[in-house]
């Protein structure tokens, strides 16, 4: 072989190995795509298809009830919150043993659907009963028993909120910060989901009380002084210090507008921590005026204002906050103390409290814990996804200091307990021009021996946070940490 042909051979070899490489890349590329598709189909068949079919607008699902008796809704501790009774003539009645106590959380199943009855609809219309039983049912033309939805709801917590709340309108939310489990989701005024069909017109025509509205997830309220959590954090992030001094004479006037402390109380000389603990409006409107409004808005956005809340719950409203450079100082002062145009849902405030407890990380709130068959065997578990941090763990530490001071030296002193350690912020939110008419707020959490719970309480028109919302929070904490 001469030199020339050797070179030619080498060139051919190089060309061939290049083609081989291309072929290999293409082959593996297709193989990778094929495997990805297989995995996707496997995932879709397991979970995605269920979520797709479970869409409330999917008409197919309602036909399932021809073959399946709708399954139960259970609390985490095994109480039956909704069940279907079958009469001897085969007619079915949906029964809610706790009446109105779980009304908005469990929801209704006639005249449309809401709550768990909506979110778990598909699960309860499927049956994973023992295969032989289902086969036998097929032969005898008998309906299968649908699967049950086990919720994260704690019957004791829900009943405590319901009873402590009395006849006020408003909402209570309780969340486990480390998991996102919703322990309590209460809204008043309420209704009996068992008799909703016969009361439908009356319930819908009463626009004044909006009974069907789930205030916990859809009620938009001014946050009042609970918003000082964000104002304080932004103030500290912009170089302010816990030891910064303020002087409160009970009122503060700027641009012809006067801010009042609650009951015109004069708080005198105080540092930021004391001003937070006593909920001083004068100090916080001054702190607010010193802020970079664009950064303030960024902080609120990061803390999920103007965002869809990350949760699997249906029909949750977005909270809103809007301030920008150059806005009217009067609006800035009002916003800094939680008035102005800011609106929040109780669920959102509970999520903020939970995130502060959980070093800044939001676990997405969820209410369906698992699906089980009629024998109690697990069909499918659910988990709260980790949304990530909405504030840094350093920020969370600072806020814990401030929120603890509210309990040890401020408006939340009724939460001092030997049994657990409580943190929080009270609020009295004005909602009309009448300064004496205020919503009563409490937002916070408590912990003991590695157990934690976050709550948000709002009582419409009740008065100050410390007088009304705090005792409800106290009842919730006492129940949760009861031996
Ligand atoms: Zn003051």
**How far does the centroid of ligand 1 lie from the alpha carbon of residue 373, in Å?**
58
Q: What is the pLDDT of residues 66-85, one digit of tens each?
A: 889 999 999 999 999 999 99
**CB contact set of 422 (below 8 Å; sequence gap of 6+):** 407, 412, 415, 416, 444, 445, 446, 473, 477
Q: How does DSSP assign 363-411, residue by residue?
A: EPPBSEEEEE-TTS-EEEE----EEEESS-HHHHHHHHHHHHHHHHHST
**How far does the centroid of ligand 1 lie from the alpha carbon of residue 265, in Å?**
6
**How far does the centroid of ligand 1 lie from the alpha carbon of residue 436, in Å?**
17
Tell me, what's the pLDDT at 46?
58
**How far does the centroid of ligand 1 lie from the alpha carbon of residue 175, in Å?**
32
Find the mean pLDDT for residues 109-120: 92
**How far does the centroid of ligand 1 lie from the alpha carbon of residue 30, in Å?**
69
**How far does the centroid of ligand 1 lie from the alpha carbon of residue 470, in Å?**
20
The Cα–Cα gap between 480 and 306 comes to 32
For CA atoms 243, 245, 248, 254, the dihedral sign is negative
Rg (CA), the chain: 28
Tell me, what's the pLDDT at 91?
92
**How far does the centroid of ligand 1 lie from the alpha carbon of residue 162, in Å?**
33
**How far does the centroid of ligand 1 lie from the alpha carbon of residue 354, in Å?**
28
Q: What is the pLDDT of residues 314-369, one digit of tens each?
A: 999 999 999 999 999 999 999 999 999 999 999 999 999 999 999 999 999 999 99
Find the mean pLDDT for residues 210-230: 95
């Amino acid at each position: 072989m001469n030199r020339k042909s050797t070179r030619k051979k080498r060139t051919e070899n190089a060309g061939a190995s290049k083609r081989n490489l291309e072929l290999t890349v293409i082959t593996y590329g297709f193989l990778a795509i094929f495997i990805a598709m297989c995995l996707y189909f496997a995932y879709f068949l397991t979970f995605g298809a269920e979520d797709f079919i479970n869409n409330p607008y999917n008409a197919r699902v309602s036909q399932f009830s021809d073959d399946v008796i709708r399954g139960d809704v259970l609390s985490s501790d095994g109480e039956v919150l909704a069940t279907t009774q079958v009469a001897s003539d085969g007619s079915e009645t949906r029964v809610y043993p706790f009446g109105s106590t779980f009304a908005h959380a469990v929801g209704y199943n006639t005249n449309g659907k809401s709550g768990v009855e909506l979110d778990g609809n598909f699960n309860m219309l499927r049956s994973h009963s023992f295969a032989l039983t289902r086969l036998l049912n097929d032969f005898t033309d008998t309906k299968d028993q649908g699967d049950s939805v086990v919720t994260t709801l704690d019957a004791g917590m829900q009943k405590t909120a319901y009873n402590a709340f009395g006849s006020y309108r408003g909402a209570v939310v309780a969340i486990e910060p480390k998991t996102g489990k919703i322990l309590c989701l209460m809204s008043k005024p309420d209704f009996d989901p068992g008799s909703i069909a016969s009361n439908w017109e009356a319930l819908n025509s009463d626009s004044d009380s909006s009974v069907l509205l789930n205030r916990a997830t859809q009620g938009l309220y001014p946050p009042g002084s609970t918003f000082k959590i964000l104002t304080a954090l932004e103030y500290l992030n912009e170089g302010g210090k816990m030891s910064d001094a303020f002087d409160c004479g009970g009122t503060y006037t700027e641009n012809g507008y006067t801010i009042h402390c609650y009951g015109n109380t004069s708080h005198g000389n105080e540092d930021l921590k004391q001003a937070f603990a006593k909920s001083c409006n004068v100090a916080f409107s001054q702190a607010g005026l010193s802020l970079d409004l664009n950064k303030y808005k960024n902080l609120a956005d990061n803390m999920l204002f103007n965002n869809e809340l990350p949760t699997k719950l249906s029909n949750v409203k977005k909270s809103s906050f809007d301030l920008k450079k150059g806005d009217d100082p009067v609006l800035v002062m009002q916003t800094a103390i939680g008035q102005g145009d800011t609106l929040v849902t109780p669920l959102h405030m509970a999520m903020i409290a939970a995130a502060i407890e959980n070093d800044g990380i939001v676990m997405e709130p969820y209410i369906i814990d698992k699906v089980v068959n009629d024998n109690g065997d697990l069909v499918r578990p659910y988990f709260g996804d980790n949304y990530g941090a909405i504030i840094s763990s350093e920020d969370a530490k600072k806020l814990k200091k401030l929120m603890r001071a509210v309990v040890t030296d401020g408006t939340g002193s009724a939460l001092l307990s030997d049994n657990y350690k409580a943190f929080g912020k009270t609020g009295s939110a004005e909602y009309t021009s009448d300064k004496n008419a205020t919503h009563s707020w409490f937002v916070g959490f408590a912990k003991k021996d590695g157990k934690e719970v976050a709550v948000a309480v709002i009582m419409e028109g009740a008065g100050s946070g410390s007088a009304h919302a705090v005792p409800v929070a106290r009842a919730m904490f006492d129940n949760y940490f009861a031996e």
